[in-house]
Amino acid sequence: MPATTLDIRDVPPPERHPMIHEAFEGLASGETLRIVNDHEPKPLFYEFQAEVEDFDAENYAVERRDTDEFVADLPKA
């Protein structure tokens, strides 16, 4: 079960990534941040993979639940 879930669909786009990074930083090792987004968060995945040392890219998962609902789990190593 994720430690934190953020539904960012109503958050203005410029505020989303900083909010996600802040929530991820607050996690303990082994915890997961779940985000609910209105599009596939592929750019966020690449950003985390390149910039966030504690991001466990191998266990990242994303599920499309509807045309405007994507749920992604960002695990912290």
Identify the structural domains of the chain with CATH numbers, from first to last: 4-76 (3.30.110.40)
Nearest partner of 67 among 34, 33, 35, 40, judged by Cα: 40
Q: What pLDDT score was predicted for residue 3?
A: 86
Q: Is the pLDDT of residue 76 over 80?
A: yes
- Quick check: 1 pLDDT over 80? no
Q: What is the mean pLDDT of residues 2-30?
A: 96
Q: Tens of pLDDT along 32-73?
A: 999 999 999 999 999 999 999 999 999 999 999 999 999 999
| DSSP string for residues in 53-77 | TTB-GGG-EEEEEETTEEEEEEEB-
The pLDDT assigned to 30 comes to 96
> How far is Cα 8 from Cα 70, in angstroms, rounded to an integer?
10
